[in-house]
Structure 1
């Protein structure tokens, strides 16, 4: 056997064709041509397509699948025996290349739809009907006496035959039909919507909270009546389970409205106090490609780094202009946004006469959108400063102060 290393580097494609390949040119035409086959090979997510009637728009496509292999493609030649000797001496085996990809078509090849009363031309393989999809047809078309031609929108949910195991032994009681079978998890948090009634007491909960945790959490809500869960978890430096336990005993939860996903002190109603507008939540989402390239995407829930009491890094629940965002989407409280523009809007904007579910106490003056715009400009500026510093470009004096700012956070509530 002759082995040529140059030929061993050649790669070939094997197509398991569901038919007789008497004419290779017609076979390639049903596969879309060499250009389509090459595009399918380059794209690992693209499936090979087979059309037995390539020029017919009514032809149903038979999709194939690909798999990797490592087969050898050999050329075997047999010389005519002219003298004494064995048959093996007359065989010449030559390595042509390596087959690394195989296209197979396991779907039914004859799974086609032919309109009733219309046959298929045996020469062209096309349906014999005069329906034109390239031009508008006049009213005379509707007056012709022809059978209705309505091709199906979908042939089948799957393109491969498979067995379905019908099981008649499964039965459900009438009472449980249509209901969830998994027992509902107990939840002791009080959730209300924007129009709900303000609760003044917590629900009865098993066990008791750690007195020190409960005391510090109550003190937090006395200083500030509305908090986010991430903020409480960071300030108290507690685990998620302990944070949720003390929150259920000291606050209730809004599921909609301006204070959505925030915890409010029991007995306090922010819908009656205009001063609570600074505690409203605002969603900030990175939309521009410029910011998306610089800010990583967050996966999962918010994870706050817990450090010893004292000086800490600026937590994620605070929007600081001297620190780049750590997530592309986050919900801040307006009081936690450290921007002079936002503080000015809080002082200058008029208080609405009525608290609405959409804008809260800010009314319809577009104050929330102005706050988002100020946050967006701050993020763009920080990205530009960091990019200039990383490429050794000159930085303005005022921008240098931002890079050298003390990004620390002091928890006054730690004891």
Structure 2
């Protein structure tokens, strides 16, 4: 086989159009692309799409757009010459480069939005296509407006909003018990210039604050006494909640925003999320840090708690306007601990396990066996065993239910026994009835 190259270099630049159909008639193909004028305008503009209409004379179809894609290619002409006298001799190939291209128009968008104005005559079952009866032929076509029996063609006001396919694969719902997920951030950061650290088993935690944070305290006029109060709290306990620092130190929130970043870093994820940890303290290496792990407790609305505990905004508003209702039963909104004989301060409480003033829970934490030498905490549950938070949450729910049961039995919700003669027996068996006004509220509380 012999090959000859002719006109190897060519400076003629071409444009490539990948037509999405089999071309039988070139003139009809050019007509579907809008004609030579429309093709020239699209080729001369870098941002204009090449429009393709499979039915050029039908206005009721969506244009398929061709996008320009940067590419490199050559247009080569290959001619094969064979000897007629000697059929066994090898063929001769002649190559000719006609030009090169830098851009290609491809039609990758959807093109199935095509509507044909077909209709039926009253006495004919065949479909007919008569575009002249639907659109005027010219501006002076008065016969169009004189028609009385026009076919009904119902077309959408707009076609599809997009003409590209979506390749996003949505993740299906997975059943999970909630014990194998890493705790995440529940709210946006409110303190500026503080070290926000995601929990990790390998990374090193900050040892000292940023110098700009220390300078900021001077700008905000933080006194040495205020700084010493917060510093002494971190020396006493290495991990704190924001409410705990506000309650124990007595420092205002504006001053605390400047003091806390200079003494501690903030965990955004993990077993100690939303807590402030003293610089230089690593809870992964201290088994006592289990007392300071995050405990997220949320009240259920079905248990009738909305009657007593409002959301934070409504509760603060009631405190400013008038004394809060049932204040002897509900803890103060600024109280950072949970007492056994009080209802929680809000519908969602971020606490440490040491903030739960319940002997049973503290005894459970104390009885957790010490890990072996060299053992490290778990990335999801910390130093506590799996399912420990569920047990604590159940204990708190039972405690709240018992507190509300005793509250109703005192007669504050007009609880009535079935009969006065058998009042003691009914009370022992839990067989009680309620007024209609309070039945829905109390049904869940007395439901065993």
Normalised to the residue count of structure 1, the TM-score between the two structures is 0.47
Normalised to the residue count of structure 2, the TM-score between the two structures is 0.44
